Amino acid sequence: MDKFPRLNYRPKKARPFIVRYYDCSSNKRTSRSFSARMDAMQFLAEMGGEGKERASSYEISTAEKDMLIRLKRECFIRGMELCELETSFTQLIRAKPAYDQTLIECVEEYLKDCDSRKIRAATIRYYRQKLNLLMNMYSPRIFISSITSEMLESFINGKGSREHNKRVISAFYAYLMRKRILSENPLLKVVNPRNRRRRRIPGILTVAQTIRLFQELPESCVAAFALMTFFGVRPQEITSETKERTLRAEDIDIKTRSIKIPEETAKMGNWRNISNLPETAWRWLEAYMPKEGPIFPYSYATYRRIRKLVSVKIPKDGLRHSMASYGYHELGIETTVEILGQESGYEVFKRHYKAMVSPDDAKAFFTISPDIRDGLPKTKIKQMPYRGLVGEIEENIKFLDRQKMKLQN
């Protein structure tokens, strides 16, 4: 019977690291499971190794015996016992991981952990993108314990947003510490100079730009853009890069004037209810919302192309920022914050959006109705979905430009 301990790894188990060993008291083989590899390796070392080949490594050579004699002599001179030295040495050696994992192993385990905690797929993709930068910067096969605070500081100050880099790497190292893959967090030694960035003014659309945008949009996209502009729904909640659930017609109750954003659709994972909006906003959905299925039946890439095709330049998050700015004056801060599902609080919201527009502009914004699309040409283009959308936008732009020239003449 093999009486030497062995370590096995079962990735699908909650406690994936199992040490199988011989129990002398019961005179039979048994096992013990661990959730952290470091704990398993320490227990394995205590039980005597990982196989017969380890047995010879525990034998003391003549040179090592001489070294022990010298250590005992030094202890005698200082009035110490050899066992005291053993205690100090054991504490020192156990402060370091018994097994060192590579960076790529840790990244894969971390992303699996994120998935098990139901973190959104888009967020996990973003984590992977950032951690790939770290692996490209050094090496996927570098041992995780050999990554120093200086190396992490170089990564944080490198490509991309410094704030975002720090946020992702902090979450990653918090996981490594929680799983006891590392005994010391090198990120704590990274000096963070205060990042005094100027507060950017949120980009929004004027009332005239909003009217022009909705006149140019293809008919099948109007409901989705109305939800983003007048209801503050995020683009990621209406369309997605993956097959995640997006907002559907079944989530909107026109009769009760309410919209439920499900938790699997909401960006922050918390469902919210949208109501208390002016009647004009609901008229857009009555006129253009599909009877069933997704509100925006196209991909996220198509949504981005449409933004580039229209003549109105839409700032980043400009539609949602527009609703926040105009809603602050027309609907009130409490109602607007509730509709948007903001978690930053009233003071932050007030600081960003109070001075963006005037009360008169806010009133005009929420009186924009579907009537502005009356007279637009009915498209007869029957092509592939994307080409059809392009043709419809181009026709609408040409029609509006002709109307503008007539008025000028």
* CB of 102 closer than 8 Å to CB of 146: no
CB 329 within 8 A of CB 357: yes
Is residue 45 within 8 A of residue 39, CB to CB? The reply is no
> What are the structure tokens assigned to 26, written together?
């019961």
Query: CA separation (Å) from 235 to 122, 178, 224, 310?
Result: 13, 34, 9, 17
pTM: 0.61
294 inside domain: yes
Mean pLDDT of 303-326: 88
**Who wins on pLDDT, 268 or 260?**
260
Q: Which of 204, 232, 220 is nearest to 373 (CA)?
A: 220
Task: Write out pLDDT tens, residues 197-230.
Answer: 556 677 889 999 999 999 988 888 899 999 999 9
Least confident of 56-65, 128-137, 170-179, 377-386: 377-386
- Asked if residue 222 and residue 88 are part of one domain, the reply reads no
Q: 236 with 380, same domain?
A: yes
The residues, ordered by sequence, that sit 6+ positions from 292 with a Cβ below 8 Å of its Cβ are 248, 249, 250
Burial of 142: CB neighbours in 10 Å, binned 0-12, 13-18, 19+:
middle
Between 186 and 268, the more confident residue is 186
Asked if the structure places residue 1 within a domain, the reply is no
CA 19, chain centre distance (Å): 35
Q: Where are the alpha helices (DSSP H) in 217-332?
A: 222-230, 235-238, 279-288, 300-309, 318-330
194 inside domain: no
For residues 203 and 391, is the Cβ–Cβ distance under 8 A? no
Contact 121, 244 (CB under 8 A): yes
Q: What is the DSSP string of 163-180?
A: HHHHHHHHHHHHHHHHTT
Asked if 97 and 145 touch (Cβ cutoff 8 Å), the reply is yes
Least confident of 68-77, 84-93, 103-112, 118-127: 84-93
Instruction: Give residue 79's domain range.
Output: 6-94
User: Is the domain of 137 the same as that of 214?
Assistant: no
State whether 226 and 247 are in the same domain. yes
Quote the CA–CA distance of 362 and 323 in Å, as a whole number.
Answer: 9
Position 202 in a domain: no
Question: Which whole number is the average pLDDT over 173-188?
Answer: 88
291 in the same domain as 270: yes
pLDDT score, position 2: 53
Q: What region does 115 belong to: left with phi over 0, alpha with psi -120 to 50, or beta?
A: alpha
Looking at the structure, tell me whether residues 126 and 68 fall in a common domain: no
How many domains does the chain fold into?
3
Tokens at residue 36, please?
């952290």
Inside any domain, residue 198: no
Residue 347 in any domain: the answer is yes
Find the mean pLDDT for residues 338-360. 74
